[in-house]
Structure 1
Amino acid sequence: MSFSINKSVTYVGKIDWELKKFHGDELSTHHGSSYNSYLVRDEKIALIDSVWAPFAKEFVSNLKKEIDLKTIDYIIINHGEPDHSGALPELMREIPDTPIYCTANAIKSLKGQYHQEWNFIPVKTGDKLSLGSKEFIFIEARMLHWPDTMFSYLTGDNILFSNDGFGQHLASEHMFNDLVDQGDLYHEALKYYANILTPFNSFVEKKINEILSLNLPVDMICPSHGVIWRDNPLQMVNKYMEWAKNYQENQISIIYDTMWNSTRQMAENIAAGIRQSDPDVTVKLFNSNSNHTDKNDIITEVFKSKAILVGSPTINKGISYAVAGILEMIKGLAFKNKKAAAFGSYGWSGEGNKLISAELEHGGFEIINEGLKVLWNPDDESLIKCREFGQTIGEALK
């Protein structure tokens, strides 16, 4: 697919309508995605990024229809991950001597993945590449979200090619932010940040401040996934600054798994107790089993929450597979400024609460209390205790 972004920049990427999982099975993409590549024409011609390897032949074939490959003077790879660099082997067979501009860390990444000695040109923040009347200014963006990432800024057109920064997994026939459903766009941008960039909040804030200090006008932001920001592009920069400050809303999320509905009953009655004590707080419940709720959607809600409650029955002196899995994801994302508590049912030993609390504390959460556990199936008295537990949580979080 190709279309003009302006007089000098052409989109030459791939929209992947069928994509439902990304990073293996680690990230859900309910709305598909795109692999954005850009052709920039001036006195010299540069290609920015490529597409994922399954579409490499299609990419090169379509690129040949757009331009004589031998007239491409430079290739810019903002990030070496295969969804951006996957078509390089196919492309470099056609134009093997074309210089590839990227960070030193990206050279290591690309060599490690493709085992080729291409004509790499390392760049760092402040380095420039002239195209004639315009030039690229390169800005290293380490840990947004890999050590090799950089942004490329095109003078004259005032376009920031931001790679994974400010992107979303969203396939659309309308590749500009003002033409798509704003609810879908905002949700996918938030989900992308929550599931990928949360551990790097401090890097995000620092890098955005660094870019702003350069006083470069930004008329458009072209990420490597999802739609292009042409209408008020800095709105997403402002959102990133907000999200990077250990973001939270007035929300409590209850995440649980259940075997015979005991823990589910606990979750629902705890939620009722929270609402009784604080009618203004948003309380959301999620069964963490993948047959019920997508794990990345849960993570997005954790990102929005000021506190989470996590419940599991005790199983073989441990906790359920589904709860253990979501806790592992939560730990890895290094959330800050959030509170948590545990709950669950048990039949014999009842270790679940302590295990959940320990994992949450390891993940950086402030533990509200020792949690609540109920023996066997909760009776009326136990359900009252659950509601009282919820009221205690609600009061503690006002």
Structure 2
Amino acid sequence: MFKVTEDIIYVGVNDHEVDLFEGQYDVPNGMSYNSCVVLDEKVAVFDTVDAHFKDEWLANLEEAFSGRTPDYLIVQHMEPDHAANIANFAEKYPEAKIVGNAKTFPMMKQFFGTDFADRQIVVKEGETLSTGKHNLTFVMAPMVHWPEVMMTYDTTDKIFFSADAFGKFGALDVEEEWDCEARRYYIGIVGKYGPMVQKLFAKVGSLEIKAICPLHGPVLTENLGHYLNLYTIWSSYQVETEGTVIAYTSVYGNTKKAVELLAEKLTEEGCPKVVVTDLARDDMAEAVEDAFRYGKLILATTTYNGDIFPFMKEFINHLTERSYQNRKIGFVENGSWAPMAAKIMKAAFEKSKNITFADTTVTVRSAVNEESEAQIAALAKEMK
């Protein structure tokens, strides 16, 4: 627990038991599930936490309340890592009202079998709830990244409660750089919904914000322009860092040798950054993150069962379902008798926006030879 401002207390929890967030994202430094209390003439609680931390969270609330009882539970997001303890809260504090929007309560009934109809306060875009000196204004943020999401701006302390936006992987008791784990979090979880994030910015861009309180990760209080700028880049699918990513799969090592040679040639050509990732062994979410971070991408894989290697197919699916765009892509294919991987990979991006393909395609027939070496050199010149 700690004070965000004189009247706002953080009562969230750290989770070091989780190994995969949402069943797929590796979180070696755990997760935080954030919740806050506004202590005013009336007491408001922002969101609950994951089901595994019911007792710790309720104890945090009791300590923060200092003998008072809450008047409101504000539910900004119904995802279970934040909403799992709504029913437990409602049972312990039967006089408290449950604040949500028109899309919140049907989901609540799906999860808990009740929507607390006699205790609801249904709010709309721009409406304000006063707790005394604090005025909490609600901002609807559908599909950032669920349809019922709303955010809240405290006009008194200039605090923006941003739901899952501006969140990151990692518990709060572990120090680590924000950008990398926030980027991996954003691209993986929110990345498909860039246009919705841009709509949100159009609503809140003129607000004076002194701190951002997301539902995961640290409360952001300094250098807010840095975080806002990154979210602008990510949500508009711009290039964040100049460089080239090579993502590859290799069965017997020959495609890997082609990739290693290509990485050398790119460096020799002056490419500002070369990132090489083995899709079978490296973290897939980090590979996806890098593909969105850098401006150029080279995909290298074998023809496999008349298609492409499964890890490459999975990787491309991750990109296209997250609206991968505004990038240049090159291809390296390997095939001993009927190489077709480049054609298949290129077709996978046919619905993607503003994708430019390299003129050179590298075709390796079993192993690198003089002909494919020349193609590698030519591709490096294009993708440097």
Equivalent position amino acid for 2:226 in 1: Q
Q: CA deviation at 1:99?
A: 1.9
Aligned pair in 2 of structure 1 residues 69, 381: CA closer, same or farther (>3 Å)? farther
**Residues 137-175 of structure 1, C-alpha deviations (whole Å, 9 max, x = no match):** 11111222222111111132221111111111121337x
Query: Hey, what does 2:201 align to over in structure 1?
Result: 208
> Partners in 1 of 2:64 and 2:133 — Cα distance?
22
The alignment status of 1:312 with 2:324, answered yes or no, reads: no
Q: CA deviation at 1:357?
A: 1.2
Equivalent position amino acid for 2:336 in 1: G
- Asked if 2 retains the 8 angstrom alpha-carbon contact of 1:37 and 1:224, the reply is yes
Aligned pair in 2 of structure 1 residues 276, 65: CA closer, same or farther (>3 Å)? closer
Q: CA deviation at 1:370?
A: 6.8
Equivalent position amino acid for 1:324 in 2: K
Equivalent position amino acid for 1:378 in 2: V
Select 1:366's aligned residue among 322, 345, 356. Answer: 356
Query: Hey, what does 2:373 align to over in structure 1?
Result: 383
Q: CA deviation at 1:262?
A: 1.2
Q: Which runs of 4+ in 1 moved over 4 A?
A: none
Equivalent position amino acid for 2:159 in 1: I
Query: Hey, what does 1:236 align to over in structure 2?
Result: 227
Q: CA deviation at 1:220?
A: 1.4
The alignment status of 1:14 with 2:3, answered yes or no, reads: no
What runs of 5+ residues in structure 2 fail to find an aligned partner? none
> Partners in 1 of 2:31 and 2:37 — Cα distance?
20
> Partners in 2 of 1:103 and 1:305 — Cα distance?
38
**Residues 231-266 of structure 1, C-alpha deviations (whole Å, 9 max, x = no match):** 233432233223333221211111010000111112
Question: Which has the larger displacement, 256-265 or 266-275?
Answer: 266-275
> Partners in 2 of 1:137 and 1:34 — Cα distance?
25
Select 1:39's aligned residue among 28, 37, 40. Answer: 37
- Asked if 2 retains the 8 angstrom alpha-carbon contact of 1:35 and 1:51, the reply is yes
Alpha-carbon RMSD across the aligned residues, in angstroms, is: 2.1
Aligned pair in 2 of structure 1 residues 92, 55: CA closer, same or farther (>3 Å)? same
Q: CA deviation at 1:71?
A: 1.4
Question: Which has the larger displacement, 64-73 or 332-341?
Answer: 64-73
- Asked if 2 retains the 8 angstrom alpha-carbon contact of 1:170 and 1:226, the reply is yes
Select 1:247's aligned residue among 219, 238, 247. Answer: 238
Query: Hey, what does 1:266 align to over in structure 2?
Result: 258
Q: CA deviation at 1:189?
A: 2.0
Secondary structure of the 2:28 match is coil
> Partners in 1 of 2:112 and 2:360 — Cα distance?
51
The alignment status of 1:357 with 2:346, answered yes or no, reads: yes
Query: Hey, what does 1:53 align to over in structure 2?
Result: 51
Query: Hey, what does 2:322 align to over in structure 1?
Result: 333
Q: CA deviation at 1:65?
A: 4.0
Secondary structure of the 1:71 match is coil
> Partners in 1 of 2:107 and 2:276 — Cα distance?
40
The alignment status of 1:224 with 2:215, answered yes or no, reads: yes
Equivalent position amino acid for 1:322 in 2: F
Query: Hey, what does 2:130 align to over in structure 1?
Result: 130
Query: Hey, what does 1:150 align to over in structure 2?
Result: 150
> Partners in 2 of 1:95 and 1:229 — Cα distance?
30
Secondary structure of the 1:340 match is strand
Secondary structure of the 1:30 match is coil
Q: How does 1:146-225 map to 2 (within 5 A)?
A: 146-173=146-173, 180-181=175-176, 184-213=177-206, 216-225=207-216
Secondary structure of the 1:353 match is helix
Equivalent position amino acid for 1:203 in 2: M
> Partners in 1 of 2:66 and 2:104 — Cα distance?
26
- Asked if 1 retains the 8 angstrom alpha-carbon contact of 2:9 and 2:37, the reply is yes
> Partners in 1 of 2:31 and 2:68 — Cα distance?
29
- Asked if 2 retains the 8 angstrom alpha-carbon contact of 1:170 and 1:227, the reply is no
**Residues 77-118 of structure 1, C-alpha deviations (whole Å, 9 max, x = no match):** 111111110111222222345321122222232222222221
Query: Hey, what does 1:177 align to over in structure 2?
Result: none
**Residues 159-206 of structure 1, C-alpha deviations (whole Å, 9 max, x = no match):** 1111111111121337xxxxx55xx11222222222223222222222
Question: Which has the larger displacement, 228-237 or 162-171?
Answer: 228-237
Select 1:283's aligned residue among 269, 274, 285. Answer: 274
Equivalent position amino acid for 1:264 in 2: K
**Residues 309-357 of structure 1, C-alpha deviations (whole Å, 9 max, x = no match):** 1111111111111111111111111022112122221123222221111
- Asked if 1 retains the 8 angstrom alpha-carbon contact of 2:330 and 2:379, the reply is no
> Given the two structures, how large is their TM-score scaled by the length of structure 1?
0.89
Secondary structure of the 1:306 match is strand
> Given the two structures, how large is their TM-score scaled by the length of structure 2?
0.92
> Partners in 1 of 2:96 and 2:225 — Cα distance?
33
Select 2:71's aligned residue among 70, 73, 92. Answer: 73
Secondary structure of the 2:277 match is strand
> Partners in 1 of 2:373 and 2:243 — Cα distance?
23
